Structure 1
């Protein structure tokens, strides 16, 4: 059995901390400064991690390869399997004209007011897409829709990125929480409940914040009733579902409730007409109501929501569920800090959420009239869009597992714990960095979730609260993630302007992450 060393570099914690952090630094520098693609930065980080794990931590090569393979398997199923099938559904909807029909629905059923459209599409509908899939899908779809109704590409992408934050922790039917539980050995239900106590505060604020950025105080005064309804209904449902129903359903139910309530509210209350925020007449004149009913745009999204909710409630995902001890790794590592063996179990669910989404895509294709050739073209389009993102997630999660099992993460945790009482203020920024690096809250939780628990235990803080904050703080890094920005840029004719988008979202990202840290301080020391 391999015993994890905590201070392998000259017996010094500071030196060991610096060396253990090098793989993360490499990814950060290559991605954020050298502007290399995410998969290249992740590959370089993994290579550096392997060199340090083998050469400094003296982690046996067989265990190192087994750890990376275990992480890759987890990345493929369930994480990537969910995203792939969700993007397939999107491409099928586009092939059937449902995306154009969605624009028509917006023009027919929402006020002639871009501020209202921004909240309904980017916040309410974007959260639904995040709940179903995540992985950049909400940014790609909602920014494109906003441009179709008159938003400038840069502003459409900027506001979509800011909105794509608070739903992220429960995205892909709760995958980030599932990952967090897997790497920390903490109960996922309890983690989901804690995250669901933190993020509703920001979910309520978010519509007000974005509309203030877009239209200033004048717009807040004009549309505040709608903002109150949209943010309040989402935040309340987010809290109730995550704490009392099922964390995997949090985003789907919160977004559906907010969407239905907000659209219903806009049927009985509409903001006063403001020419500065009206939708251009040429766009309204271009609606193609004669081809498809605007309501048909909702078919794929309502279908997948219904199927996956039923799938989860009926427990279909448990059929064929097998928990596989990973060969050569399970209990082959001894956690020195905790004085216990390290389990390595892969939860193989052939009928998991991704399979439910695939079934929804097949049914939707039939209902929308997409034949075998159209389905095949959608599969090809999905693969072309997702394969590099798949590689990135596999590499970054593989690095996370390598750092966890070799003991590098525990060394980092010991080092961060030296901050003492100030650690809770820094804790959310670890998650923030993780999402910036990887583009997903799930990968950030894999990379830093265990580190947070290690630090919390050393400081006698609540490990569940600190681990949950990794996810809550991480979502604020979503708006500056190069991977997320790249997906949006590829669909908004902003190629080459990634740096401009990053500059427009960076300060907002830091401010929200700092607020998460302040909330954590209050939860830990004032209102336990």
Structure 2
């Protein structure tokens, strides 16, 4: 039995849109006004979406339930798999006592919370987004900031907001790759279009983040550092996205801004060290000294993590891991059981890439980190059990959120909302980023939002005489500012920042910033379409029917051998240089 999607169940698009918006409006009401816990809001919203899909859109109940199950399964893997492993790795570092050394090192660079946020949330988070994506940057950076002594709400909130600028180029450029495949526009012009929009936001983001944390006056106090951080990131993001393509902007810009700010801070210091209210001032003590080996040992989990995340992002390694460690199957009862309005059957596959998933790279980093930080594997097992207990509600939340996203998409509810935005005529370039924002809010992924709406963006722009690369790029750029309020992202950040049960606080913290940045990108896109059209890159369309050459897994074996040799050497060096002797005295810094 095949069921055909409908996008206007009332034959009145205005009424259909008002009804389709109910589950999304409920999420906003539940988290902002009612202040529900994340898992409660997600489960009720999923129930509402099921009722609409079955009762008003005519979706068979069996298909609707299978759709929710498909989404929930995707929420468990790879999303929850990644979050669990990221928090597990961090918990290992804390349990071993090595995070105290990391705190000391960070304070030696700067004890100023404003600058620590830039280094970790903005720059390091961007690097992680470029290599791993899918929740890893927020999970790792939020946990690190909380461990350093940040207020959990601010730690999680600013990590979500900082994770906007790099999302478009995340996971080695996958969001733009998908937008290219769906729209037929080559990757490079989409990368160039996005790279002529987001660097503006990137340059302003450090000042914006610090203003949120400390206020405008305190942000102005460190203007030189903000300029170094933001401009170095923006210039590198612009150059790499325009001349190299979508794969490396986050990695290059993230590392470049870290190095630029660290070098700058060797020659410049803020006049006052800013801390949170009621937080004790740092108490430096010359009695504390850690050797280079001890510092390397403390950072070793994140050094190993960085190496593995980069390796897992390399296409030859992905191919060999998928060839030996991937199970893909058609989702029973759902595959090809739904027909789009265009008549195409929707494939519903589930891919269990248990080796190439980013969460597996983090697990391997954790297993290697245990002996490096001096913990036995038996204790590691205990820490893992405690991590699962810590994350039981976030796991439920993420599974419910992805079930919610899948039923909205499969039933046609998402397409109803998209249809009204696409009917705005010459104003469509202004609303094009809203479509991307909506897609990421629902699915939690810029990649998924581009898969959903890139073709619609292309067709609508062509119909009104606007270059389609503007609106396809806007879908990507608008989506990045929806990431910070996606229920999936909120659940991940709450789990990492010890805010389980307080997701509503986090949502209320980020939602106004999401709307403000969305409006900013809407005006930029409108200007690109009509006022500064000279900024649009020239390109030729690709044939979307062309099938890429089949992967050759054997190409990845030399990479894996090289990775093994590199890791063996790295572990050997760390174990040889690390000294077990304790420092002269315990650090008194927070």
TM over 0.5: yes
1:347-391 Cα distance to aligned partner (Å, 9 max, x none): 332222222221111111221122123212321232133332232
- Decide which structure has greater helix share: 1
Matched, 1:428 2:429: no
Which residue in 1 is equivalent to 2:303?
302
Matched, 1:345 2:344: no
Query: Quick check: 213-222 or 24-33, which moved more?
Result: 213-222
Cα deviation for residue 260 of structure 1 reads 2.5
Superposed, 1:492-503 pairs within 5 Å as none
Structure 1's 193 and 91: CA in aligned 2 closer, same or farther, altered over 3 A? Answer: farther
Query: Quick check: 172-181 or 269-278, which moved more?
Result: 172-181
Matched, 1:82 2:87: no
* Greater Rg over alpha carbons, structure: 2
Question: Would you say the 8 A contact 1:93–1:300 is kept in 2?
Answer: yes
Cα deviation for residue 157 of structure 1 reads 6.0
Matched, 1:419 2:424: yes
Structure 1's 400 and 203: CA in aligned 2 closer, same or farther, altered over 3 A? Answer: same
Structure 1's 240 and 40: CA in aligned 2 closer, same or farther, altered over 3 A? Answer: farther
Which residue in 2 is equivalent to 1:34?
34
Which residue in 1 is equivalent to 2:547?
none
Structure 2 residue ranges without an equivalent (≥5): 537-590
After TM superposition, the score normalised by the length of structure 2 is 0.74
Alpha-carbon distance in 2 for matches of 1:482, 1:5: 26
Match of 1:509 among 508, 514, 531: 514
Counterpart secondary structure, 2:48: helix
Question: Would you say the 8 A contact 1:211–1:220 is kept in 2?
Answer: yes
Superposed, 1:46-445 pairs within 5 Å as 46-108=46-108, 110-111=109-110, 113-128=112-127, 130=129, 132=132, 134=135, 136-138=138-140, 140-145=142-147, 147=149, 159-170=158-169, 195-211=194-210, 223-239=222-238, 250-267=249-266, 269-271=267-269, 273-274=271-272, 282-285=282-285, 289=289, 293-313=294-314, 315-319=316-320, 320=323, 321=326, 323-336=328-341, 338-352=342-356, 353-429=358-434, 431-432=436-437, 441-442=444-445
Which residue in 1 is equivalent to 2:572?
none
1:504-528 Cα distance to aligned partner (Å, 9 max, x none): 6554433222111122223334433
1:139-178 Cα distance to aligned partner (Å, 9 max, x none): 632432553xxx6777666655543432344556667668
Query: Quick check: 118-127 or 152-161, which moved more?
Result: 152-161
Alpha-carbon distance in 2 for matches of 1:281, 1:42: 40
Structure 1's 246 and 115: CA in aligned 2 closer, same or farther, altered over 3 A? Answer: same
Question: Would you say the 8 A contact 1:83–1:354 is kept in 2?
Answer: yes
Counterpart secondary structure, 2:375: coil
Cα deviation for residue 50 of structure 1 reads 1.8
Matched, 1:457 2:462: no
Cα deviation for residue 35 of structure 1 reads 1.4
Counterpart secondary structure, 1:363: helix
After TM superposition, the score normalised by the length of structure 1 is 0.81
Structure 1's 412 and 275: CA in aligned 2 closer, same or farther, altered over 3 A? Answer: closer
Counterpart secondary structure, 1:8: coil
Alpha-carbon distance in 2 for matches of 1:116, 1:206: 13
Structure 1's 39 and 213: CA in aligned 2 closer, same or farther, altered over 3 A? Answer: closer
Which residue in 2 is equivalent to 1:6?
7
Cα deviation for residue 99 of structure 1 reads 1.9
Alpha-carbon distance in 1 for matches of 2:97, 2:289: 12
Question: Would you say the 8 A contact 2:35–2:504 is kept in 1?
Answer: no
Question: Would you say the 8 A contact 1:318–1:349 is kept in 2?
Answer: no
Which residue in 1 is equivalent to 2:579?
none
Alpha-carbon distance in 2 for matches of 1:396, 1:176: 20
Structure 1's 367 and 404: CA in aligned 2 closer, same or farther, altered over 3 A? Answer: same
Structure 1's 506 and 356: CA in aligned 2 closer, same or farther, altered over 3 A? Answer: closer
1:433-483 Cα distance to aligned partner (Å, 9 max, x none): 666x67x842x7647962575465345366665455445334435556677
Counterpart secondary structure, 2:351: strand
Alignment RMSD (CA, Å)? 4.0
Structure 1's 434 and 313: CA in aligned 2 closer, same or farther, altered over 3 A? Answer: closer
Cα deviation for residue 395 of structure 1 reads 2.1
Counterpart secondary structure, 1:324: strand
Alpha-carbon distance in 2 for matches of 1:63, 1:13: 24
Alpha-carbon distance in 2 for matches of 1:177, 1:348: 23
1:299-343 Cα distance to aligned partner (Å, 9 max, x none): 21121111121233262222334553333333332221x343323
Structure 1's 405 and 193: CA in aligned 2 closer, same or farther, altered over 3 A? Answer: farther
Superposed, 1:462-477 pairs within 5 Å as 466=471, 468-477=473-482
Counterpart secondary structure, 2:21: helix
How many residue pairs get aligned? The number is: 517
Question: Would you say the 8 A contact 1:75–1:394 is kept in 2?
Answer: yes
Structure 1's 276 and 244: CA in aligned 2 closer, same or farther, altered over 3 A? Answer: closer
Alpha-carbon distance in 1 for matches of 2:313, 2:213: 38
Question: Would you say the 8 A contact 1:416–1:455 is kept in 2?
Answer: no
Structure 1's 116 and 354: CA in aligned 2 closer, same or farther, altered over 3 A? Answer: closer
